[in-house]
A and B are shown apart, each in its own frame.
Chain A
């Protein structure tokens, strides 16, 4: 189906923006720990970070599919900003009627095993627990967390990181991944709200996984572009290495894996808001599993084609491959998601396997 004109225009303008502003120089500097404030400002001015919110909450009622397509572009340019996190923080926070910010936000928990809890305390609440490896907490204006309350899951909004204890960390792309711990941190009543329809810790984990899968599909496109371009420029034995069949065959595999990653991420994106939580889990699981597999194979080939130059800090390939190696583990590594996909299929039974597959994909396609 042809892409809608407005979607294409959005993607073209975001592509230009990231190409101009998310340069290697900007990323290198961000990797030293300095937040890419100019890049963030440029992205924020487009309204994209909170565009999914209803107009009443300062958004534009944008389609999630379009916003995920923007995440693919952000992944293509290794954008060192918490764009996915801000989108998801806005989604969780707005559903609970919490006050948001137009600055960068982070969201959590991002680990399936992490638990936060809140208890009533006078007019307000107290927050306890741990949120491991949150993206960019040191640079955000708000942190939106989902915590277990007395009547189920609730959303919590903190200014900055509130009163959290911070253990700094980073992934191998030098993106901040800090662990926050809360020991009876006092919250005002208006910093806590009940989650809206369809929003939960599980749903956040699923969307987070899909965001990473989508960004990875963009990073794979970039790695492929670089490898194809380099092979056509690099001359050895008197001709461009792209003329050697061994190299062509490798690049063909890389292109196939990249195409599969984009298609798999699209399956998850198409599922958003169209299927029940179980099918969403299945289709996002398909996406994270398949994209993770593609990333592992594709990074190997992209580096092989580049030879030694691709192994340097100077050359841009590593910006993409270090992110792929980081993101494939975040919001659940692909084997974890593969086990969910397999468990879902097995629970559904062998004789219903085909019906399950076609029904899950039909619901979205």
Chain B
């Protein structure tokens, strides 16, 4: 039978996930003053409060600070938080990918040291992947590690590192120095380190985004010493580890809920009895969102069953970013206004923010072209 290439099996949310939704909504109500639109706020107090509830790393083993909850409960938690615009930035990278990466490839000491702190909302991670000359082509990293007595000496630089100026640790992707020889295998020597951002030789400089905001950074690494016990996984296994980490990154429902509050404002502007064209334009967006939710829930089901949703995650991210980029486009057709970032009117400010933010959706976490390349590989075309 011509089996579907990608699996999006319908799933049923178990009762504990429904219970979770009630608890999260209550929590969000208590913290209503911290909820905002598409700001990706970094708030350690909020992260610690979530940590106290056991809502960071909640699917991890209890031994490492987790709660051994299901992927469905986590799905519900994350989607509720994203839809409400909760300030997740201080823990989200650790929760979504750094922690799982450490649990999968780290030593016992690393798991015991890092994971409980991440789960408590006390330790913030960022992603040391892109470089000035290595964006989509991650394997082209020029950052080099040299084995020395007791550890490694690292030189190079990283770029587009969100929250590096506020985070504690970075999972650094680089290559082992190869005495000037160019390896035929572009993935050879790739290695990940757990880098304490307070280490001497680490310099972090801001890169303002086009909204004038400081999220990105450039990290310069000059003779940075990383001890042996902060090598993550194995020397040379960095590419496999990174692929696994990116699969975690892309499988979350955060690729289509960033602008949910804007959709909500559009429904408000439309009023209870919109004309047919307005209803149809909003209905089309809502149908896309409901479908993306269904697909994302299927991915949670795959994670719960222990399948790697690499291809399916790429599909959802590609469709999800398209949908989110359509939101401000549809908004300006239905309810035109001159965008102004600091406008008092919520909608006017939202359309300004979302219009300016839209380009990044199909760049961060893998560009549209890279994702479609992954999908094409899944189809057996490359």
Asked if A212 is at the interface of the complex by the 8 Å CB criterion, the answer is no
State in angstroms the CA–CA spacing of A118 and B215 once bound together.
Answer: 69
A327-351 near B? 1/0 per residue, CB < 8 Å: 0000000111111111101110111
Q: Please tell me which stretch of B90-98, B202-210, B281-289 contacts chain A, meaning at least 4 of its Cβ atoms lie within 8 angstroms of it.
A: B281-289
Nearest residue (CB) in A for B289 is A357
B287 touches A293 (CB 8 A): yes
Nearest residue (CB) in B for A336 is B280
B376 touches A346 (CB 8 A): no
Write out the residue numbers on chain B whose beta carbons fall within 8 Å of the beta carbon of A224.
5
> Which residue from B279, B291, B375 sits with its C-beta under 8 Å from A255?
B375
* 346-382 of chain B: CB within 8 A of chain A: 369, 371-373, 375-376, 378-382
> Which residue from A11, A262, A283, A346 sits with its C-beta under 8 Å from B273?
A346
* 249-299 of chain B: CB within 8 A of chain A: 260, 263-265, 267-268, 270-274, 276-284, 286-295, 297-298
Nearest Cβ in chain A — how far from B366, in angstroms? 13
Write out the residue numbers on chain A whose beta carbons fall within 8 Å of the beta carbon of B280.
335-336, 338-339, 342
A248 touches B372 (CB 8 A): yes
A266 touches B10 (CB 8 A): yes
Q: When A1-B9, A232-B381, A365-B294 are in contact, do A286 and B372 touch as well, CB less than 8 Å?
A: no
Asked if A353 is at the interface of the complex by the 8 Å CB criterion, the answer is yes
A255 touches B379 (CB 8 A): yes
Asked if B21 is at the interface of the complex by the 8 Å CB criterion, the answer is yes
Nearest residue (CB) in B for A359 is B21
A255 touches B5 (CB 8 A): yes
B1 touches A252 (CB 8 A): no
State in angstroms the CA–CA spacing of A334 and B280 once bound together.
Answer: 9
State in angstroms the CA–CA spacing of A342 and B301 once bound together.
Answer: 29
Nearest residue (CB) in A for B368 is A249
Asked if A320 is at the interface of the complex by the 8 Å CB criterion, the answer is no
Write out the residue numbers on chain B whose beta carbons fall within 8 Å of the beta carbon of A232.
380-381
Asked if B8 is at the interface of the complex by the 8 Å CB criterion, the answer is yes
B381 touches A248 (CB 8 A): yes
Write out the residue numbers on chain B whose beta carbons fall within 8 Å of the beta carbon of A260.
288, 291-292, 295, 319
A255 touches B286 (CB 8 A): no
A290 touches B291 (CB 8 A): yes
A252 touches B373 (CB 8 A): yes
B11 touches A341 (CB 8 A): no
Q: When A289-B287, A354-B264 are in contact, do A256 and B373 touch as well, CB less than 8 Å?
A: no
Asked if B318 is at the interface of the complex by the 8 Å CB criterion, the answer is yes
A286 touches B376 (CB 8 A): no
Asked if B13 is at the interface of the complex by the 8 Å CB criterion, the answer is yes
Asked if B83 is at the interface of the complex by the 8 Å CB criterion, the answer is yes
Nearest residue (CB) in A for B11 is A1
B6 touches A1 (CB 8 A): no
Nearest residue (CB) in A for B79 is A358
Asked if A3 is at the interface of the complex by the 8 Å CB criterion, the answer is yes
Asked if A126 is at the interface of the complex by the 8 Å CB criterion, the answer is no
Nearest Cβ in chain B — how far from A78, in angstroms? 13
Write out the residue numbers on chain B whose beta carbons fall within 8 Å of the beta carbon of A263.
8, 291, 294-295, 298
Of the listed residues B18, B278, B286, the one surrounded by the most CB atoms of chain A closer than 10 A to its CB is B286
B307-326 near A? 1/0 per residue, CB < 8 Å: 00000100100110000000
Asked if B2 is at the interface of the complex by the 8 Å CB criterion, the answer is yes
- Interface range on chain B: under 10, 10 to 19, 20 to 34, or 35 or more? 35 or more
Write out the residue numbers on chain B whose beta carbons fall within 8 Å of the beta carbon of A37.
none
Q: When A259-B4, A260-B319, A350-B268 are in contact, do A342 and B298 touch as well, CB less than 8 Å?
A: no
State in angstroms the CA–CA spacing of A334 and B284 once bound together.
Answer: 9
- Interface range on chain A: under 10, 10 to 19, 20 to 34, or 35 or more? 35 or more
* 1-42 of chain B: CB within 8 A of chain A: 1-2, 4-6, 8-13, 18, 21
Nearest Cβ in chain A — how far from B1, in angstroms? 4
Write out the residue numbers on chain B whose beta carbons fall within 8 Å of the beta carbon of A345.
267, 282-283, 286
State in angstroms the CA–CA spacing of A79 and B291 once bound together.
Answer: 27
Asked if A270 is at the interface of the complex by the 8 Å CB criterion, the answer is yes
B9 touches A2 (CB 8 A): yes
Write out the residue numbers on chain A whose beta carbons fall within 8 Å of the beta carbon of B279.
338-343, 346
A251-279 near B? 1/0 per residue, CB < 8 Å: 11101100110111011011000000000
Nearest residue (CB) in B for A347 is B272
A289 touches B293 (CB 8 A): no
Asked if A76 is at the interface of the complex by the 8 Å CB criterion, the answer is yes
Of the listed residues A242, A267, A287, A339, the one surrounded by the most CB atoms of chain B closer than 10 A to its CB is A339
Nearest residue (CB) in A for B377 is A248
Q: When A232-B381, A252-B379, A255-B375 are in contact, do A15 and B1 touch as well, CB less than 8 Å?
A: yes
Nearest residue (CB) in B for A247 is B381
State in angstroms the CA–CA spacing of A293 and B286 once bound together.
Answer: 13
Q: When A2-B9, A256-B375, A365-B294 are in contact, do A346 and B287 touch as well, CB less than 8 Å?
A: no
Chain B residues within 8 Å of A, Cβ to Cβ: 1-2, 4-6, 8-13, 18, 21, 79, 83, 260, 263-265, 267-268, 270-274, 276-284, 286-295, 297-298, 301, 305, 312, 315, 318-319, 369, 371-373, 375-376, 378-382
Question: Told that A251-B376, A354-B260 touch, could you supply 12 new A-B pairs with CB distance under 8 A?
Answer: A15-B1, A243-B381, A245-B373, A248-B372, A248-B376, A252-B318, A255-B375, A260-B291, A262-B8, A290-B290, A339-B283, A340-B283
25 pairs from A and B in contact (CB 8 Å cutoff): A1-B11, A2-B305, A12-B1, A15-B2, A221-B4, A228-B5, A248-B381, A249-B376, A259-B4, A260-B295, A266-B8, A266-B294, A286-B287, A289-B283, A290-B288, A334-B284, A341-B279, A343-B273, A343-B274, A345-B282, A346-B270, A346-B271, A350-B267, A357-B293, A365-B12
Chain A residues within 8 Å of B, Cβ to Cβ: 1-3, 11-12, 15-16, 76, 221-222, 224-225, 228, 231-232, 242-243, 245, 248-249, 251-253, 255-256, 259-260, 262-264, 266-267, 269-270, 283, 285-287, 289-290, 293, 334-343, 345-347, 349-351, 353-354, 357-358, 360-362, 365
Closest 6 CB pairs of A and B: A342-B283, A342-B279, A341-B283, A338-B283, A350-B268, A252-B372
